[in-house]
Structure 1
């Protein structure tokens, strides 16, 4: 009946309907939440599986990268050793070429002396030897012996210099040595590479500089500098004579060596890449691109020194190398 309870009943019915609607919505939301939770759990399971798979892939890639890096370093070290041996080969080949002249002169002098001796002996046996002929023979013999002795001493000095440089370059032994004389030995060992070219090489060391260190590294550095300069800096068709100058000075407990040439020089791009491994402007002519890299590596790590280079097209190239007189002062 339509009485005073009617508004309450209607309000209650409305509330019941709203509660029922809310309950259904809550149930739907709960079902959706459970479905989402299940989907999240499935995604988590899939994600964990993918993470494990990616982790395994990354570990494999990392192992492959480490192995590739190891092989690259090994290959690089092998190439560096090959380059060092190639420089040593230049020294050994130069020895045979350089001592050929004094030995040839000695052989000629001894052969002439041998012929004269046979002639004098024959005259003596025949009773035909007179004082004037014997005096001429003595004078000829003295000259021949002097020529032979001088050239044999020169050959012996060359062999000693070549031997010391070769032994130093093939080992990493530390010893004391005098820098100026050692630089001269290096230049002498490389003379066959430029003696028939219009190139003058000079070494200036105004004071005796004694170094306690690694002469093999010094020999390798200046062998590479010389060969790089002879290969890249000069044109044999040029009318201007090439100049290579090496100057050494002692500054407190350090030595400073400047290596410079008046060759064609380098542009800015080439200068920036000069010490990059395997960079070369002579790729088609057999260049390996690790000569300058070896120079920098030896200066930095074995001599504990520093290296500066400056160059410009047509203005030549200048290297300045500084390192301690003794490795102990750098350690």
Structure 2
């Protein structure tokens, strides 16, 4: 180092802030900044050398640089870990959305299964009556043929035959008319529930058609249901979506509310307010809910009967349909042992919306 500094001095005539390693007074290696200046003292040239100890300052700078490098490496590691965590979270979210959509489809198929079961059960009576009447009619025709063939036909026999034929025919016609009416209503419900068609409809008619599909299940559950619609309420909306809301509310009540309940009852009441909004209250006299459960009633995948067939999506789907497709509001009031009331408030004219966006990629609402 001495030779390097002297070489610099000889070439430049001075040294200005050169850094060099030196042995300090305590025998440690240190670093100093060296400066030189030439003075004229009493006619003689003299060189003044100055040494500034930079050991601690340079050591601190090196330590700071090493610390910065270490921090930068740690930040890069953390950033990489965070990016991986974000990718994992995004993948998990995509999986959750796919699972949610699959479960929603499964619930719609289960609803259609209930619809088919309801159709079969409700059609059994009129078709059975028609079959019985047709069989009776065939027997009467055979008897009449026998009487005619025997040549002992009386006016009284003929008149009795006409009466029997008329009764059987009326029974067949009446039963088949009832079957046709049931099929028409079931067909409309099926079309509505499997499509997102918007149309004008009478609220009471749609509600009654929807409830008709649940009649067998309600009877098996010993559950009485009452429908009350004040006045004529016409909507320009999505009857299938509204029917799905009612389906989910009935399923939810039958699944959760009436365990061990001897006199189960559901009441659906609707009226149009002065502001033009349609209020629909769905009430049951079941077990009710605690406040902890009530706070999470719209949470996706939340169920009090996990492992017993509940998906925890029913009320979440209801919330999304009411607030999205139907453009309304929904809230729930309930207390343990006091039943539950679901309040719907929907406009008579639903908003024009992208059906696919509402039903396909809308995240379920989490209850506040």
TM-fit CA distance, 1:44: 2.6
Q: Answer 1 or 2: higher relative contact order, Cα 8 Å, separation at least 6.
A: 1
Alignment of 1:125-136 (within 5 A): 125-136=149-160
Distance 1:58 1:267 in 2: 39
1:329 Cα offset (Å): 8.4
* Higher share of residues assigned strand: 2
Q: Give how far 1:236 is off.
A: 4.9
**Is 1:197–1:236's contact at 8 Å kept on the other side of the alignment?**
no
Corresponding residue SS for 2:219: coil
Contact 1:304 1:330 in 2 (8 A): no
> Comparing 171-180 with 79-88, which one deviates more in the overlay?
79-88
Alignment check: 8 A CA contact 2:189 2:210 kept: yes
- Equivalent residue runs for 1:289-308 within 5 Å: 289-308=312-331
Q: What is the CA–CA distance in structure 1 between the aligned matches of 2:236 and 2:135, rounded to whole Å? A: 46
Cα distance in structure 2, aligned partners of 1:330 and 1:290: 23
8 Å CA contact retained: 2:277, 2:346: yes
Q: Which residue of 2 aligns with 1:269?
A: 292
**Which residue matches 1:113?**
137
8 Å contact from structure 2 (residues 221, 254) kept in 1 = no
Contact 1:245 1:259 in 2 (8 A): yes
Contact 2:279/2:344 (<8 A) preserved:
yes
Q: Kindly state the Cα deviation for residue 297 of structure 1 after the two structures are TM-superposed.
A: 1.2
In structure 2, what is the equivalent of residue 310 of structure 1?
Answer: 333
Misfit runs of 4+, over 3 Å: 24-29, 328-331
The one of 86, 97, 109 equivalent to 1:73 is 97
Distance 1:62-1:205 versus aligned 2 partners, 3 A rule: same
Query: Among residues 243, 268, 272, which one is paired with 1:250 in the alignment?
Result: 272
Residue correspondences, number:
309
**CA shift for structure 1 position 66:** 1.2
Alpha-carbon deviation of 1:133? 0.9
| Conserved 8 A contact 2:325-2:351 | no
Alignment partner of 2:87 out of 54, 63, 84: 63
Task: Go from structure 1 to structure 2 and tell me whether the alpha carbon gap of 1:136 and 1:261 turns closer, same or farther (over 3 Å shift).
Answer: same
CA distance in 1, matches of 2:201, 2:259: 35
TM-score by length of 2: 0.78
Whether the 8 Å contact between 1:324 and 1:330 is mirrored in structure 2 is no
1:161–1:189 CA contact under 8 A, matched in 2: no
Where does the alignment leave 5 or more consecutive residues of structure 2 unmatched?
Answer: 1-23, 26-30, 34-50, 355-368
Question: Does the 8 A contact of 2:326 with 2:351 survive in 1?
Answer: no
Cα distance in 1 for residues equivalent to 2:336 and 2:165: 57
Alpha-carbon contact 2:133-2:168 (below 8 Å) kept: yes
1:138 Cα offset (Å): 0.8
TM superposition shift of 1:189: 0.6
Tell me if structure 2 keeps the 8 A contact 1:248–1:256: yes
Q: Do the aligned partners of residues 84 and 330 (structure 1) sit closer, same or farther apart at CA in structure 2, a change above 3 Å counting?
A: closer
Is the aligned partner of 1:225 residue 2:249? yes
Partner residue of 1:124 out of 130, 143, 148: 148
Q: 1:236 to 1:142 in 2, by over 3 A?
A: farther
Q: Please say which structure displays the higher CA radius of gyration.
A: 2
Separation in 1, partners of 2:279, 2:343: 7
Q: 2 CA distance for matches of 1:174 and 1:237?
A: 38
Equivalent of 2:74 in 29, 47, 50: 50
Shift in CA distance, 97/29, structure 1 to aligned 2, threshold 3 Å: farther
Counterparts in 2 of 1:122-201, with a 5 A limit?
A: 122-201=146-225
Write the distance in 2 (CA, Å) between the matches of 1:197 and 1:139: 41
| Kept after mapping to 1: 8 A contact 2:327/2:351 | no
Report the Cα distance in structure 1 between the residues aligned to 2:257 and 2:232, rounded to whole angstroms.
Answer: 30
Q: Unmatched 5+ residue regions in structure 1?
A: 1-19
Cα distance in structure 2, aligned partners of 1:49 and 1:268:
49
| Shift, 1:235, TM fit | 3.8
